[in-house]
Amino acid sequence: MLTLSGQGAIITGGGTGVGKATALRLAKEGCHILVNYSRSRDEAEATAEEVRELGVKCLAYQADVADDAACRAMTQAAEKEFGRVDVLVNSAGTTKFIAADDLEAVTDDVWLRLYQVNVLGPFHCIRAVQEPMLRAGGGAIVNVSSVAARTANGSSIAYCCTKAALDNLTVSMARTLAPHIRVNSVAPGLISSRWVAQNLGQAAWEKTLKSFEEKTPLGRVCSPEDVAAAIMSFITGSQLITGQTIVVDGGMIISAGATMRR
């Protein structure tokens, strides 16, 4: 198993949800963490404090991953603070909840923003960490995708397309950055999180959660910690795995006729 003690990691969208859970997992292994956030400053600062309590260095760093210059500056800050960058987890993402049959609502602005954050953002960060990772002797990158990439069923048509593009980017970058940098992806199903509940509304969320739990072979939906565990398996597990996407959904994707929503 790869030893993470003293290494440096950048986690985009690291203040909440999957990003936070991953930050805490990495910190427990002795990895220094840069917690990236765009708007959730209070949450990011709170997460950074939890990480520091585990005995490692941590920066809470504001940057919109859609901004290439900001991603480069963020990477430079991490390398300066930690002396190296070994891990990148692209957890930042966005969506717009739009019914599949409401095509007029899927405006160009929606398409552009979702692609900027969900596809260009990971590319910006991957490009920014390439040289620092090579200086450190190699690295591991994990993108957070979605089962929506495979089912074309999710919060919006545009969201599904961006996650499919992210899966393609994972393969392209794995090929390009080999042999010293590995690039993989996790694709969660529905995640039990505050973010989903806020967007759906409490009543709709409770109904959706119950429906998914009844249809899912393993009887429950993902928690952020479940997804973080899969991310960790790519980072610390076999060093011969790259260009792969693993689904974390309790078996939901294999259930015929299921409705997917992250």
Cβ distance 219 to 160 under 8 Å? Answer: no
Token look-up 């929506």 returns 148
**Average of pLDDT values for 150-172?**
94
Nearest to 132 by CA among 172, 186, 173, 73: 73
Residue from 37, 61, 115, 159 carrying the catalytic annotation: 159
Detail the DSSP E strand segments found in 30-162: 32-37, 58-62, 87-90, 139-144
CB count within 10 Å of CB 220 equals: 13
Residue 256 pLDDT exceeds 60:
no
Determine whether 159 is an active site residue. yes
Domain regions of the chain by residue span: 8-254
What is the model's pLDDT at position 262?
42
What is the model's pLDDT at position 3?
84
Could you tell me the pTM of the whole model?
A: 0.92
Residue 120 pLDDT exceeds 70:
yes
Token look-up 């973010």 returns 195
Average pLDDT, the chain: 92
Distance separating alpha carbons of residues 3 and 180, to the nearest angstrom: 16
What is the model's pLDDT at position 201?
72
Provide CB contacts within 8 A for 10, sequence distance 6+.
34, 36, 74, 75, 78, 85, 87, 88, 89, 125, 129
**Average of pLDDT values for 180-191?**
95
CATH architecture of 8-254: 3-Layer(aba) Sandwich (3.40)
Residue 261 pLDDT exceeds 50:
no
Q: 3-class SS at 82?
A: helix
What is the model's pLDDT at position 199?
64
Nearest to 183 by CA among 144, 220, 141, 145: 141
Residue 197 pLDDT exceeds 80:
no
Output b/e per residue, 152-190; b: 16+ Cβ within 10 A.
eebbbbbbbbbbbbbbebbbebbeebeeebbbbbbbbbb
Cβ distance 184 to 209 under 8 Å? Answer: no
What is the model's pLDDT at position 104?
93
Residue 54 pLDDT exceeds 70:
yes
Distance separating alpha carbons of residues 168 and 162, to the nearest angstrom: 10
User: Could you report the per-residue pLDDT of 219-249, keeping only the tens digit for each?
Assistant: 888 899 999 999 999 999 999 999 999 999 9
